[in-house]
Structure 1
Amino acid sequence: MPTETAPRFPSTLAPPAYYNGLEDRLRQTLLPVLDPYLSDPSRSPLRILELASGTGSHAILFTKTYSIQQIAEIQPTECDQYGVGKIQQTVDEAYPAAGVEEAPTSRVRILRARKLDVMDDKDWAALADAGEQSPYHLVFGSNFLHMIPFPEGPQRIFASLSQLDLVSPSARLIFYGPFRPSSTAFFSASDEKFDAEIAARPHDAPYTLGLRPLDELVRIAEGQGWTSEARHEVPANGNWVLVFRRS
């Protein structure tokens, strides 16, 4: 029985060593690729919904990098209350002088973390009912598609964002992480090795873990009213930034 003190699916979590120096790695490798989308003056200021926020490292990095004129606020989420607590701990440690509601007006607001299991319609509905009802301009998710059900997970994400009017008509959805070109190939030997490693983890998740095929992901998106806008390889680690927009 999952509790607030234990993760729901431990096998889907990154090992603790992954977080050592993570902010510096993100700033050097990922941020240059994301910057044109996060600092786009034609869409500023952004309301950002982050899926599978992990410990909240991305939200903290974005607040340190961008002004409130570029990003108005960020809504972090995780799939269980354990993850929600981890995010809130990170945010509170980074900004101990002010709570979420008392954040300085000069700083990008990080809203209190919410539970969002992408497979749970009730969580999606609660997100749609929360807050100021303003749509999100950008949805971002990092290193998690290989840890959720496929194809059901991405289908729920694309469909829920559109059908519940959670995003603006010109919204972008950006995924970052490792992928494979198709269900029969890999981009590299290291990707194939990583795929085998995560698939062999203790099977506490009731579905198969593994790198997801880009060609199938694009078809899923198109079936839910989204178009593949751009695909960027991150040379430093062989991961990808996939950008989708509403059709």
Structure 2
Amino acid sequence: MSSTSELEYDYVPTSNSWAAPGSASRTKVELVPYLRDILVPAADPTNDTTSRQPVVVLEVASGFGEHVAYFGQQLPSVVFQPSEAQDECVRGIAHTISSTNLDPRSNVNAPVKLNVLSPASSWRAALASGNVADPVTVILAINLLHISPFASTQALFDRGSQILPRHGKIITYGCFKRHDEFAGPGDVAFEKSLRDRDDRWGIRDLDGQVVPEASRHGFKLVKVYNLNSNNLLVVFEKQ
């Protein structure tokens, strides 16, 4: 059996993975206070601009860019690099960024094409093709783990272990099981709808699947935020 570093580049998401209309608008607003708490103190711990350590966030599976454009507006001290595996989404992100009233010295870079399952060398090449002046310190994945094969979860932590520095973070958002239990009947129905769309998809068990996978690649679970509709914002840190 191949290791996660050798996972084949054999899954490319299609339009059936796109978020339901309106969901990004709700999620982006809800996430900003939590992301500010996680990212901004690290970006500027003393408010001394001479000692500021830049926080550069690679967002994987950025969709059409509604999240990242809003995050860029709300968190101007953080640099965001959006990415997507689908050409249509890459074009959509570029359009969203260009039509958003961002500062001319925008902290949101042009999108790059990146499939999470591609090897680490492709991640580095994608970043090199962008406008990332500083090393990536955070990887952000919103609604990825349950709307993709589990191999994407494995690749996220494997590639993250190769890309991120020590104390770098992987932040994931979405629905999860806890100790193999669904959060409620709504998640049971959602699980069925996911499996009906693609039997490789499904709500991951944070404790039994995701945390052990993260640990295998040197990441420690450091924070779980309970958000609306039984969703979780989960923060891992590279040890």
Q: TM-score range by the shorter chain?
A: 0.7 to 0.9
1:123 counterpart residue number: 122
1:57 counterpart residue number: 66
Q: Matches of 1:149 and 1:114 in 2, distance apart? A: 22
Choose from 84, 87, 109 the match for 1:81: 87
RMSD: 2.2
1:232 Cα shift? 0.9
Structure 2: runs of 5 or more not aligned: 1-11, 46-51
Q: Kindly provide the amino acid, as one letter, of the partner of residue 153 in structure 1.
A: S
Choose from 187, 190, 201 the match for 1:194: 190
Q: Kindly provide the amino acid, as one letter, of the partner of residue 123 in structure 1.
A: S
User: Would you say 1:33 and 2:34 are equivalent positions?
Assistant: yes
Report the count of equivalent residues: 217
TM-score under structure 2 normalisation? 0.82
TM-score under structure 1 normalisation? 0.79
Q: Matches of 1:93 and 1:134 in 2, distance apart? A: 26
Stretches (4+) displaced over 4 A: none
**Any conservation in 2 of the 1:51–1:76 contact (CA below 8 Å)?**
yes
**Any conservation in 2 of the 1:115–1:123 contact (CA below 8 Å)?**
no
Q: Matches of 1:149 and 1:112 in 2, distance apart? A: 27
What does the per-residue CA deviation read over 1:80-118, in whole Å, with 9 as the maximum and x for residues that have no partner? 2111111111111114xx8xxxx623xx42111011111
**Any conservation in 1 of the 2:32–2:74 contact (CA below 8 Å)?**
no
1:15 Cα shift? 2.9
1:185 Cα shift? 2.1
1:134 Cα shift? 3.0
Identify which range, 167-176 or 221-230, moves more after superposition.
167-176
2:158 counterpart residue number: 159
User: Would you say 1:244 and 2:229 are equivalent positions?
Assistant: no
Q: Kindly provide the amino acid, as one letter, of the partner of residue 56 in structure 1.
A: G
1:48 counterpart residue number: 57
Choose from 65, 75, 78 the match for 1:66: 75
1:32 Cα shift? 2.2
1:129 Cα shift? 4.1
Structure 1: runs of 5 or more not aligned: 1-6
**Any conservation in 1 of the 2:54–2:134 contact (CA below 8 Å)?**
no
Identify which range, 78-87 or 119-128, moves more after superposition.
119-128
Any idea what SS the aligned residue of 2:91 has?
helix
**Any conservation in 2 of the 1:155–1:224 contact (CA below 8 Å)?**
no
Q: Matches of 1:11 and 1:126 in 2, distance apart? A: 27
Q: Kindly provide the amino acid, as one letter, of the partner of residue 92 in structure 1.
A: S
1:44 Cα shift? 4.6
